[in-house]
Amino acid sequence: MSTTADWFSTWFNTEYYHILYKHRDFDEARLFMANLVSYTNLKINDTVLDLACGKGRHSIFLNSLGLDVTGADLSKNSIQFAKKYENEKLKFIQHDMRHSFTSKFDAIFNLFTSFGYFIDDVEDIRVLKNIKNGLKNENGVAVIDYLNVKKAANNLPSKETIKRDGITFNIHKHLKDGFIIKEIEVITKNETKHFFERVKYLDFDKIKKYLTKVGLNLKSNFGDYDLQSFNENTSNRLILILTK
């Protein structure tokens, strides 16, 4: 299993990552983003940064709502794929979220557990500082969509096997050293490879300490994509609506 600190720079750049997750519920995701746009009062031509955009599917949807969208992701392959969908109000760039942005935005979306990747808290806090500094003004809004780690941890360890496109994925989830880890064994006709995902066990209290440290204000929080109230024991998600 890879032990590189920046595990995401390898795994997210493989075809296996996209095959494993290609059956995600994008209708649910689009409903979530439509709910966010409505809740945050974003208007046509407002600028949005989709931070950790992957192949850009959600950036494209946000753009279809009339928003001026920049999709940013570390994965070179994902950005190359997304660029064919660019237009005057939809751009894609390769970018590490630990680095500051060259532009400022009306809103910054960090969706579907694209936070908490780093071993050192300093790097997670740096990401939050970049998000804060990337907002145009006090009217700007940031959204971080994280998993509810308390509920997730209560269902660990777990094992499952998924077969897609002739590939077998053996998945083992467990909690170790303050991280929820998903070990992924990929078996094809010609080879077996090992990858992993790792997200920090950031409960609501710890995230609030992060926010206080960087001066981001918690406007509201939700526990699912329908924007229902957050419950630490039962909610699947922890969705944070933030302002400067």
Q: Is 59 exposed, middle or buried (0-12, 13-18, 19+ CB in 10 A)?
A: buried
pLDDT at residue 163 in the model: 95
First vs last C-alpha separation in the chain: 40
pLDDT tens digits for 109-128? 999 999 999 999 999 999 99
Concatenated DSSP letters for 175-222?
EETTEEEEEEEEE-SS-EEEEEEEEE---HHHHHHHHHHHT-EEEEEE
pLDDT at residue 25 in the model: 64
More confident residue, 228 or 15: 228
Output the average pLDDT for the chain: 93
pLDDT tens digits for 167-183? 999 999 999 999 999 99
